[in-house]
Amino acid sequence: MINLSGKHLKLSPLFVMLAACSGGDAPTPELADYGEPVHGGTAVIAEGADMSMPLTIVGQTVLDGSLGGDVLYMSMLATDWGDGRLVYRTADESPMAIARRYEYLGPDSASLRFHMRSDLRWSDGEPITAEDVLYTYDLIGDPELASPVQDYTDEIEGVEAEDDSTVVFHFTRRYPDMLTDASMAIIPEHVFGNTSASEFRSHTALLDPTNGNLVVSGPYMIGSWQRSERIVLERNPEFEPRAYLDQLVFRVIPEPTTRIVELQTGAVDFVKGVTFDQIPQLRGQAPNVRFETEEKRAYDYVGYNGAGFEPFADPEIRRALGLAIDAPSMIEALQMEEFAVPAGGPYPPIFRDLYDPQGQAPVGYDPDESRSILESKGWSDTNGDGVLDRDGQPFRFTLVTNAGNQRRADIAQIIQDQWRRIGVDAQIQIREFNTLTEELTAGNFQAVVAGWNVGLSPDLSPLWSEESPFNYTNYTAPGLADLIEEARTAPTPETAAPLWRQAASRIVSDQPYTWLFYMDVVDGVNNRLRETEVDTYGAYQNTWEWWIPEELRRGE
């Protein structure tokens, strides 16, 4: 699943999206007390890129997933993050959940029954019924739609309606992600049902979703949309509890510096992803701004392609290169000490049940050991030019990263310098994002500095299965596919967790990546905007609770 967040919980690959991100347990100043929340006002949010499609099932960008999954549409269960794992909420716990309760049909059953709220209505006043659920999942699974989330239906044999407010999901087997796969954002059958899957993206409600044309179920609906400029969301009168704010305005501001200036001057209230070097400036010059963090789901890494540069096919060579990278000093140089920790594997420590401090420990910094490994592999500087060589071939390759991300450009330069000290010559090349993505997918690269935002599902297959388009390094290991499949087919998260830990440790032992650091995403928030709830799950999960004291409004 490309460039999605919100309800897309399995994988969020990030290149450009993390260009302006940083994070950490930044202290939050105590806010002045303005009493109980009151209705009214407008919050302005700055985003680096526009929405492409306001439905998660056909969305392509981070904002598509965030708005479609957390603001515009409800799901059978609401999802949240708590105590190191994904948590599912019923309607008794979250107004974004359609189901009041659910149960398995038996102790070992592969079927789930959901009892829906019968009082829910779409923004046009029509009731939300089981027919909407059946339609949504039938559409997602239709190959003619080519949905980026079609894999959520891979294990669903069918969905049936027992009555207007009761649905049963039948799965091929019992497995840990059943609740995730049954919790996609539900869309209205009475609006889209007469449109074929092949023509779905051309539906008038998607071409022009403004002025109530796009029927929604969440706290806000789309009032207006000036593409590449702004999206104005207006309160949905059918959603309960009634959202406090009259409007949410998403301004598209591609330049990170401009976003920060707008936050500092008070022109915007919320900036998602503040660069590390901007935080000291804001702390010194913008006392009206606080920082809220999406905790350490993201990591940057160096990926090695053995097909592009033959020495990288040797895991010991990859380990040697990792030993020559001083991640702690890199974190300090990038002003990330408050926001990042050295990384060692695919699961950050926030995943309590999946992270193994031994099997996924950072490789560490030991340039002498690195030199020793390379020498044992036949690499030495035979001509005195400062670059190791073997059989007449210098240890020289191309290290690519994406344009528009100063942090990654800096990382590439730091690594280039540290590798040079052990006699390895990395030639840095910066690629336009789409060009780099095409090259990585085709395996047309040697080494890359890139990053991922770790999905909330433990499933490693989106990145590490042999057939995954995101397994850019074409990494394989004996028995890994079987281990991943065993974890995916385990009946419960508890039985799957040790298998996932074992699979992660197996990957780490071969060092297809040098994991650099896990980092938070830090969001800048104007103190006038209250009750924002930013955490590992995301930033827009409770927009109906956001409010602005009357005394602090801009006259809206």
pLDDT, one tens digit per residue, over 422-465 is: 999 999 999 998 899 999 999 999 999 999 988 888 999 989 99
Mean pLDDT of the 476-504 span: 95
- List of residues 6+ apart from 120 with CB closer than 8 A: 74, 98, 127, 128, 217
Q: What is the mean pLDDT of the chain?
A: 92
How many Cα atoms within 13 Å fall on the side-chain side of residue 190? 13
CB 134 within 8 A of CB 127: no
Report residue 15's pLDDT band, with 50, 70 and 90 as the boundaries. very low
Give the span between the Cα atoms of 544 and 16, in whole angstroms: 29
How buried is 555 (Cβ within 10 angstroms: 0-12 exposed, 13-18 middle, 19+ buried)? Answer: exposed
Give the span between the Cα atoms of 549 and 32, in whole angstroms: 10
- What pLDDT is attached to residue 27? 47
Task: Give the global pTM.
Answer: 0.86
Select from 3.40.190.10, 3.40.50.150, 3.40.50.2000, 3.40.190.170 the CATH code of 42-268+528-552: 3.40.190.10
- What pLDDT is attached to residue 270? 98
Question: Is residue 43 scored above 80 in pLDDT?
Answer: yes
R_g of the chain, CA atoms, integer Å: 24
Please give the C-alpha separations between residue 104 and each of 111, 168, 214, 366, in angstroms, as whole numbers.
Answer: 6, 9, 34, 52
Domain ranges (residues) in the chain: 42-268+528-552, 298-519
Nearest alpha-carbon partner for 424 in 387, 389, 391, 392: 387
Task: Give CATH for domain 298-519.
Answer: 3.10.105.10
pLDDT, one tens digit per residue, over 235-288 is: 999 999 999 999 999 999 999 899 999 999 999 999 998 988 889 889 989 999
pLDDT, one tens digit per residue, over 168-209 is: 999 999 999 999 999 999 999 999 999 999 999 999 999 999
Question: Is residue 97 scored above 50 in pLDDT?
Answer: yes
